[in-house]
Amino acid sequence: MLPAECSRRLVAELRDALDSCAERQRQLEQSLRVSRRLLRAWEPAETPAPEPTPGPEINEETPSSACPPSPQDLKELELLTQALEKAVRVRKGLSKAGGVKARSPKSGSASSATRASAPPSTSRCAGSCALEAKPPRGVRHPWVPAKDLPGHRLLLVGDGPHMGQGARANKPEAGLRDQQIVPKAASQVPEAFTLKDKGALLRLPEAFRKAASRNARLWAQLSSMQTGDSVDAAAATAKTQFLQKMQTAAGQPSSMLSAAEVRRLQKACSLLRLRMREELMADPKDWTQEYRSLLTLEGLQALVGQCLHRLQEQQELRSVVVEQLQGPCPEGPPRAASPCGGDADPVWSPQLLLYSSTQELQTLAALRLRVAMLDQQVHLEKVLMAELLPLLSEQEPLGRPWLALCRAAHCLLCERGQRFLTVLRDEPADRLSPP
Amino acid sequence: MGRRRRRRPDPADAARALPEAIAALSRALPAAPSPETFRRAKFDRPEAAPALWRLLFRVLSPLPADGASASLALEAQARWVKSALRSQGYPRQALVQLPDEGFQGGRELLLALAWLLARGPLPERLLTQSRVRLGDEMPLCECEALASPGLPAPSVEAEGCVDIRHLQWLMGKLRLRWRNLMAGQQEQCALLGQIHAYTRGCHSDRSLGHLSVTETELLRDPEGGRQLLLQLETENARLEAALEWRRRELVFWQWMDTVLDACPPEASLPTFLPRIPKLGAGAAGLLVRELQALQEELRALQEELQEAVEARRAAWQAAVGGHGPEWRAARRALQTAVAQDLAALQRAWEQDEGRSRPHGPCRLVRTEARVPGGPGLWAAGVTEALRAREACLEAVLSQLQSQCRQELARLAGARPGLIWILPPAH
């Protein structure tokens, strides 16, 4: 068993790691839910109120939010469907017979019927699905008589050649089956909107576009104000002076080393060591080289002295600390383990990351997660080392508990918790008993 | 910007400018009190204090968990604010000495707010945190994730001693969670790729070309779309307020000077320092250990250098005789060369390394183009950078592990009579 304080700290660290993982998972699951829903057929949403100005906006609005049809709508729809069916039959009959003359009165009546029902439908479901009725550019399927009619359910009716690609509606001859289907389907969307088929037809609403572009413009302004030369020099000086005044009023010495500085010093240390090795291994050929090498080493010594001095300042500060606090300090402030430097400027607007295939995106995402995981592993490794190694070196008794601890520690520290070593007691007698 | 406020403003202007500046600040900050509260705070009126405590709490804490943090009592919030300020190095003690009930000290709180405002771009940073995300974003570094941990769990379960096997179990659980996460992530990327491909050509912004999940969702669900629009408009209002604040802030700082002067001078108690955690207490204890390790390394380095320098200096002195005047010129040249060399070395660690690494969230854009139409990162480039970082981290981890192995071997070696069979290295 581990001592209480140590246990508490280690468990807290591991729970922290588990929680952050769980949080990522939660966010991922939410995104997955949304994405999956988007790729399925879109259910009609309940539109709470019709758009006040249906006219110019019929194109743009939500493609799939059909309002639930009222009984009157259903009746009209049935009338309409019957009329159109009749037209189809007549046309078919006529095309067989080869005659065209009889068509006009029929289609005339059909179109008048449709026009009669058009206005009420428009006013009721103004925002809905006229999208299909007005083909935007790039549309592949031809639209014919149904073009001027709002309500995508009418599109089901149509003759073979005028139906769009097979993907749409999955039932090209649905028109003839409409009589049965439509009244029932009128209570659901008869032809569901799928992103795959009609995604290219979507358009963002006007209000949103305006707000989004204004948003982008404001962010750009804000960021240029921060980073550009238009920074108000007077305000900047005023701020620095204010800070200094606050500092001197309190009489406190300069603040402690930040994590970023520690990293810098660590980097300095390794670079200095590297340089020193290079110099020591080099073989001077003549006196200029010798002298140069000597000067370099002296310079390195001076730099190391500077770094040590900076560190030692902090040590002295620590030794005169005065405990001012009542009560424990909650672990509020975040961990200073951010690799980009805790005080990095806020990122104003996200950059664009351009990818060209799903494979590429998946590789990128996998790598990013791997880096995050490794980061966490390095941190945990350091924490475990800091806690477990002192424990092992302190404990004296050569009993089973110590061996078990040692073995477990080896597993955790050296093998990422994945493999175990075996410890055998080397008895002078013939039998070897594993612990 | 057309405002001539660079010189000292005359009193009539100042009378108007200050309330406007403070009003802009109120509008730019989230949940900020009215300008009236600021003025009351200067005169230390008690009614100003609670609002300012709440504002400081909101400003200092990471993204608020809805409801959880807001429902913290004023007292708890006040305590939290004190500790957060302390850990940032806030200089004034008077704040810490304020009673926790939160009805006193409006002026000190005002000073604390001003201190935070002076140190960095606070309104902008807050706006960035709560930014409306319109695109599908992928963070390239972990800054944001680390900067917003959940609020401190108020009551960590006070467990007693645990067996090390519990730790092993937790580690295994962690590994499993990561694996699930990665699998889920792959699926999400596939879905994203599809959505981006299907909505190609829809976006009014040519550089984007297709819709993001958020945008498509707003088309599918108009109610959600309305809410998104509202959020956008709120953010726009705050952005404009922040811009206005930046234009007018000088007069605020002049006013804050007067507020500071109005405070009684602080009694010079012994140095009040941010709380130094005891060795071994959590993350800060880790820092302390790292500092110690660093110090030892530097000392070892210093000794080695000292030896080498002394030896070579002695050798040099012995051999130096007999060089003529051209020697002096050459010496000076060498000295400057070496100085430059070392300065370059110093720059290598002093310089901000933040630029080299990809930083911040990025909006994903699917494109067929081969040439960059505008500014933007290419996935290939970012992948390379991430691979490099991965390799670096793996190296660090291996190094730590071998350190542990050595240490454990040393400990094991000290106890004779055991045979250690290591698992096969893969």
Q: What is the pLDDT of residues B270-281, one digit of tens each?
A: 444 444 444 434
Give the pLDDT score at A338. Answer: 44
Q: Min CA distance, B74 vs chain A (Å)?
A: 16
Q: Is the pLDDT of residue B180 over 90?
A: yes
User: According to DSSP H, which parts of A282-357 are helical?
Assistant: 287-319
Chain B residue closest to A24 (CA)?
B181
By mean pLDDT, which of A123-137, A353-367, B284-298, B338-352 is the weakest? Answer: A123-137
Mean pLDDT of all residues in B152-165: 65
Cα pseudo-dihedral B46, B50, B56, B59, rounded to 10: -140
Instruction: Give pLDDT < 50 ranges for chain A.
Output: 46-66, 99-187, 189, 319-339, 341-343
Phi, psi of A410, rounded to the nearest 5 degrees:
-60, -45
Contact A353 B376 (CB under 8 A): yes
Question: Which pLDDT tens digit goes with each residue over B106-121?
Answer: 888 888 999 999 888 8
Q: Which helix (H) or strand (E) holds B233?
A: helix B222-262
Q: Min CA distance, B99 vs chain A (Å)?
A: 12
Give the pLDDT score at A5. Answer: 82
Quick check: helix, strand or coil at residue B343? helix
CA–CA separation, B106 and B17 (whole Å): 22
Chain B residue closest to A16 (CA)?
B149
Q: Min CA distance, A176 vs chain B (Å)?
A: 30
Q: Min CA distance, A80 vs chain B (Å)?
A: 28
Contact B177 A18 (CB under 8 A): yes
Task: Indicate the residue of A38, A291, A351 with minimum beta-carbon distance to B334.
Answer: A291
Question: Which pLDDT tens digit goes with each residue over B2-14?
Answer: 555 555 556 666 6
Contact B156 A208 (CB under 8 A): no
| Contacts B387 to A, Cβ<8 Å | 367
Contact B400 A337 (CB under 8 A): no
Q: Min CA distance, B402 vs chain A (Å)?
A: 7
Return mean pLDDT, chain A. 68
Contact B379 A361 (CB under 8 A): yes
CA–CA separation, B134 and B144 (whole Å): 17
CB atoms within 10 A of CB B288: 18
Contact of A47 with A127, CB cutoff 8 Å: yes
Contact B168 A417 (CB under 8 A): yes
Chain B residue closest to A254 (CA)?
B89
Cα pseudo-dihedral B384, B388, B391, B395, rounded to 10: 180
What's the token pair of residue B148? 């917003």
Give the pLDDT score at A93. Answer: 72
Give the pLDDT score at B125. Answer: 86
Mean pLDDT of all residues in B44-54: 85
CA–CA separation, B133 and A51 (whole Å): 26
- Sequence-distant (6+) residues with CB within 8 A of A147 are A133, A134, A135
Cα within 13 Å of Cα(B81), Cβ side = 32
A242 touches chain B (CB under 8 A): yes
One-letter amino acid at A114 equals: T
Residue whose token pair is 């002394």: B310
Identify any residues that bridge with B363 across adjacent strands, giving them in sequence order: A352, B137
What's the token pair of residue B72? 């913290």
Contact B232 A333 (CB under 8 A): no
Give the helix, strand, coil percentages of chain A, each rounded to 5.
65, 5, 35
Q: Min CA distance, A112 vs chain B (Å)?
A: 33
Task: Indicate the residue of B220, B266, B354 with minimum beta-carbon distance to A249.
Answer: B266
User: How far is residue A236 from each of residues A225, B15, B127, measured CA to CA in Å?
Assistant: 13, 22, 21
Contact B366 A356 (CB under 8 A): yes
Task: Indicate the residue of A218, A371, A413 with minimum beta-carbon distance to B239.
Answer: A218
Give the pLDDT score at A227. Answer: 66
More confident residue, B77 or B235: B235
Chain B residue closest to A26 (CA)?
B181
Cβ-based contacts under 8 A for chains A and B: 620
Contact B376 A419 (CB under 8 A): no
CB atoms within 10 A of CB B99: 11
Return mean pLDDT, chain B. 80
Contact of A300 with A276, CB cutoff 8 Å: yes
Phi, psi of A42, rounded to the nearest 5 degrees:
-80, 130
* The pairing of beta strand B377-378 with beta strand B361-366: unpaired
Give the pLDDT score at B374. Answer: 66
Please tell me whether the overall predicted TM-score, pTM, comes out greater than 0.80 for this model.
Answer: no
Give the pLDDT score at A85. Answer: 77
Contact B390 A138 (CB under 8 A): no
Residue whose token pair is 């002192």: A390
Q: Which helix (H) or strand (E) holds A352?
A: strand A351-355
Q: Is the pLDDT of residue B233 over 90?
A: yes
| Contacts B361 to A, Cβ<8 Å | 347, 350
One-letter amino acid at B348 equals: A
Q: Min CA distance, A58 vs chain B (Å)?
A: 14
What's the token pair of residue A86? 């009749």
One-letter amino acid at B376 equals: G
Give the pLDDT score at A159. Answer: 41
A409 touches chain B (CB under 8 A): yes
